[in-house]
Structure 1
Amino acid sequence: MIYALDAKLRDGNATLPQLLQHWAQSTPDSLAFREKDYGIWNRMTWQHYFETARRFALGLKSLGFDKGDRLAIASEDSPEWMFADLATQAIGGVVVGIYPTNPWPELQYIVHHSNSKFVVCGDQEQVDKVLDAMDKHATGLPDVVKIICADMKGMRGYKLDKLMSFEDVLELGDQYFASSPENARAFDRAIEQTQPDDTCMLVYTSGTTGPPKGAMLSHRNLIVTVDKLKTHFRLDRHNYEVVCYLPLCHVAERAFSTVLHLLTGGVVNYAESIDTVAVNLREIAPTVFLGVPRIWEKLQQGILIRMQDASRFQRWAFSRCMAAGQRLFERVEARGGRRSLSDRLQFFLLWLVMFRNLQKFIGLDRMRCGFCGGASVSPEVLKFFRVLGLPVFQVYGMTESGGVVFFQHEKAARLGATGLPIDSLNWKIADDGELIVKHPAVFKGYLHDDGATAKTVVDGWLHTGDIVALADNGELMILDRKKAIIITSGGKNIAPSEIENALKDSLYVREAIILGDGRHFLSALIQIDYETVGKWAQERKLAYTTYKSLALLPEVRELIDEDVKRVNKLFARVENIRKFLILEKELDHDDGELTATQKVRRNVIEKTFSREIAIIYGGGTA
Structure 2
Amino acid sequence: MSVTFSNANGDTMGTPATDYPSSIIALVSAAWTTHADKVVMRYPDANDEWVDVTGAQAQARVNAVAKGLIANGVNAGDRVGILSRTRYEWTVLDFAIMSAGAVPVPVYDTSSEAQIDWITSDADVRLLIAETAEHASRARSAAADSESPLETVLVIDDGAVDDLAAKGADVGDDVLEHRISTLSHDSLATIMYTSGTTGRPKGVRLTHFSYVRHIAGIQESMGPVLFQEGASTVLFLTLAHSLARLVEIALVASGMVIGFCPDPSKLVPAMQSMHPTLVLAVPRVFEKVYNSAEQKAEAGGKVKIFRWAAKQAIDFSKALDTDRGPGIALKARHAIADRLVLSKIREVLGGRAEWAISGSAPLGDRLGHFYRGLGLTVLEGYGLTETNAASHVNRPELAKIGTVGPPLPGIEVSIAEDGEVLMRGEQLFESYHHNPEATAEAIKDGWFHSGDIGSQDEDGYLTITGRKKELIVTAGGKNVAPAELEDKIRSYALVSQCVVVGDAQPFIAALITLDPEALPGWLKSKGFEPMSVAEAGKDERILARVQKAIDRANATVSRAESIRTFRILADDLTIDNGMLTPSLKVKRARVLEQYADVIDGIYTAKHSHG
How has the CA–CA distance of structure 1 residues 123 and 572 changed in structure 2, closer, same or farther, with 3 Å as cutoff? same
How has the CA–CA distance of structure 1 residues 343 and 225 changed in structure 2, closer, same or farther, with 3 Å as cutoff? farther
Residue in 2 aligned with 1:187? 176
Q: Name the SS for the 1:111 alignment partner.
A: helix
Match 1:47 to one of 38, 41, 56: 56
CA distance in 2 between partners of 1:77 and 1:8 (Å) = 35
CA distance in 2 between partners of 1:573 and 1:342 (Å) = 37
The alignment covers a number of residue pairs equal to: 594
Residue in 1 aligned with 2:152? 146
Q: What amino acid is aligned across from residue 161 of structure 2 in structure 1? A: F
How has the CA–CA distance of structure 1 residues 539 and 358 changed in structure 2, closer, same or farther, with 3 Å as cutoff? closer
Residue in 2 aligned with 1:114? 123
How has the CA–CA distance of structure 1 residues 541 and 302 changed in structure 2, closer, same or farther, with 3 Å as cutoff? closer
Q: Name the SS for the 1:117 alignment partner.
A: strand
How has the CA–CA distance of structure 1 residues 491 and 241 changed in structure 2, closer, same or farther, with 3 Å as cutoff? same
In the alignment, does 2:292 pair up with 1:302? yes
How has the CA–CA distance of structure 1 residues 533 and 602 changed in structure 2, closer, same or farther, with 3 Å as cutoff? same
Measured against aligned partners, the alpha-carbon deviations of 1:195-220 in whole angstroms (never above 9, x if no partner) come to 12211111100110110000011122
Match 2:431 to one of 429, 432, 445: 445
Q: What amino acid is aligned across from residue 216 of structure 1 in structure 2? A: R
Which one scores higher on RCO, CA 8 angstroms, separation ≥ 6? 2
Match 2:401 to one of 402, 412, 415: 415
Measured against aligned partners, the alpha-carbon deviations of 1:60-118 in whole angstroms (never above 9, x if no partner) come to 11222111100000011112111111111112211111111112211111111111011
Residue in 2 aligned with 1:387? 373
CA drift at 1:352: 4.5
CA distance in 2 between partners of 1:501 and 1:127 (Å) = 36
Q: Name the SS for the 2:517 alignment partner.
A: helix
CA distance in 2 between partners of 1:101 and 1:603 (Å) = 20
Contact 2:21 2:212 in 1 (8 A): no
Q: Name the SS for the 2:489 alignment partner.
A: helix
CA drift at 1:432: 0.9
CA distance in 1 between partners of 2:327 and 2:18 (Å) = 38
Residue in 1 aligned with 2:97? 88
CA distance in 2 between partners of 1:355 and 1:535 (Å) = 21
Contact 1:534 1:550 in 2 (8 A): no
Q: What amino acid is aligned across from residue 61 of structure 2 in structure 1? A: T
Contact 2:316 2:331 in 1 (8 A): no
Residue in 2 aligned with 1:161? none
Match 1:166 to one of 161, 169, 176: 161
Residue in 2 aligned with 1:470? 456
How has the CA–CA distance of structure 1 residues 439 and 275 changed in structure 2, closer, same or farther, with 3 Å as cutoff? same
CA drift at 1:392: 0.6
CA distance in 2 between partners of 1:522 and 1:548 (Å) = 24
Q: Name the SS for the 2:430 alignment partner.
A: coil
- Segment drifting more, 527-536 vs 244-253: 527-536
Match 2:260 to one of 240, 249, 270: 270
Match 1:587 to one of 573, 583, 589: 573
CA drift at 1:450: 0.4
What TM-score does the superposition give when structure 1 sets the normalisation length? 0.90
- Segment drifting more, 317-326 vs 474-483: 317-326
Residue in 2 aligned with 1:362? 349
Q: Name the SS for the 1:617 alignment partner.
A: helix
How has the CA–CA distance of structure 1 residues 173 and 416 changed in structure 2, closer, same or farther, with 3 Å as cutoff? same
Q: Name the SS for the 1:263 alignment partner.
A: helix
Q: What amino acid is aligned across from residue 324 of structure 1 in structure 2? A: Q
In the alignment, does 2:584 pair up with 1:598? yes
1:341-380 maps to which residues of 2 (within 5 A)? Answer: 350-363=337-350, 365-380=351-366
CA drift at 1:380: 1.2
Contact 1:417 1:471 in 2 (8 A): no
Residue in 1 aligned with 2:422? 436
Q: Name the SS for the 2:157 alignment partner.
A: coil
Measured against aligned partners, the alpha-carbon deviations of 1:145-168 in whole angstroms (never above 9, x if no partner) come to 32111112xxxxxxxxxxx83332
Residue in 2 aligned with 1:125? 134
Match 1:227 to one of 216, 223, 242: 216
CA distance in 1 between partners of 2:526 and 2:396 (Å) = 44
CA drift at 1:125: 1.2
CA drift at 1:348: 5.4
Measured against aligned partners, the alpha-carbon deviations of 1:330-365 in whole angstroms (never above 9, x if no partner) come to 2222228x56899777755654554323211232x3
Q: Name the SS for the 1:531 alignment partner.
A: coil
1:246-261 maps to which residues of 2 (within 5 A)? Answer: 246-257=237-248, 259-261=249-251
Q: Name the SS for the 2:309 alignment partner.
A: helix
Residue in 1 aligned with 2:12? none
Q: Name the SS for the 1:510 alignment partner.
A: strand
Residue in 1 aligned with 2:106? 97
Q: Name the SS for the 2:390 alignment partner.
A: strand
- Segment drifting more, 402-411 vs 319-328: 319-328
Match 1:291 to one of 260, 277, 281: 281
CA drift at 1:554: 3.1
Residue in 1 aligned with 2:11? none
CA distance in 1 between partners of 2:49 and 2:494 (Å) = 36
Percentage identity across paired residues of the two chains: 24
1:180-219 maps to which residues of 2 (within 5 A)? Answer: 183-219=172-208
Measured against aligned partners, the alpha-carbon deviations of 1:419-446 in whole angstroms (never above 9, x if no partner) come to 1122342211111111111110110111
Residue in 1 aligned with 2:316? 328
Q: What amino acid is aligned across from residue 205 of structure 1 in structure 2? A: T
1:546-585 maps to which residues of 2 (within 5 A)? Answer: 546-585=532-571
Contact 1:119 1:146 in 2 (8 A): yes
Q: Name the SS for the 1:605 alignment partner.
A: helix
How has the CA–CA distance of structure 1 residues 9 and 316 changed in structure 2, closer, same or farther, with 3 Å as cutoff? farther
CA distance in 2 between partners of 1:561 and 1:420 (Å) = 36
Task: Note the residue ranges of structure 1 that are not aligned, 5 or more in a row.
Answer: 153-163, 178-182
Contact 2:77 2:103 in 1 (8 A): yes
Q: Name the SS for the 1:249 alignment partner.
A: coil
Q: What amino acid is aligned across from residue 40 of structure 1 in structure 2? A: E
Residue in 1 aligned with 2:466? 480
Residue in 1 aligned with 2:446? 460
CA distance in 2 between partners of 1:621 and 1:611 (Å) = 16
How has the CA–CA distance of structure 1 residues 403 and 222 changed in structure 2, closer, same or farther, with 3 Å as cutoff? farther
Match 2:514 to one of 493, 503, 528: 528
CA drift at 1:514: 0.2
How has the CA–CA distance of structure 1 residues 439 and 539 changed in structure 2, closer, same or farther, with 3 Å as cutoff? closer
Task: Note the residue ranges of structure 2 that are not aligned, 5 or more in a row.
Answer: 3-14
CA drift at 1:620: 12
CA distance in 1 between partners of 2:569 and 2:64 (Å) = 51
In the alignment, does 2:69 pair up with 1:78? no
CA distance in 2 between partners of 1:616 and 1:172 (Å) = 63
CA drift at 1:316: 5.0
CA distance in 2 between partners of 1:24 and 1:566 (Å) = 50
Q: What amino acid is aligned across from residue 369 of structure 1 in structure 2? A: W
Q: Name the SS for the 2:391 alignment partner.
A: strand
Measured against aligned partners, the alpha-carbon deviations of 1:461-497 in whole angstroms (never above 9, x if no partner) come to 1111110013465421001011111111221111111
Q: What amino acid is aligned across from residue 349 of structure 2 in structure 1? A: I
Contact 1:221 1:443 in 2 (8 A): yes
CA distance in 1 between partners of 2:540 and 2:184 (Å) = 62
Residue in 2 aligned with 1:156? none
What TM-score does the superposition give when structure 2 sets the normalisation length? 0.91
Measured against aligned partners, the alpha-carbon deviations of 1:518-537 in whole angstroms (never above 9, x if no partner) come to 11111100011223333333
How has the CA–CA distance of structure 1 residues 9 and 299 changed in structure 2, closer, same or farther, with 3 Å as cutoff? farther
CA distance in 1 between partners of 2:401 and 2:544 (Å) = 31
Residue in 2 aligned with 1:23? 31
CA drift at 1:417: 1.0
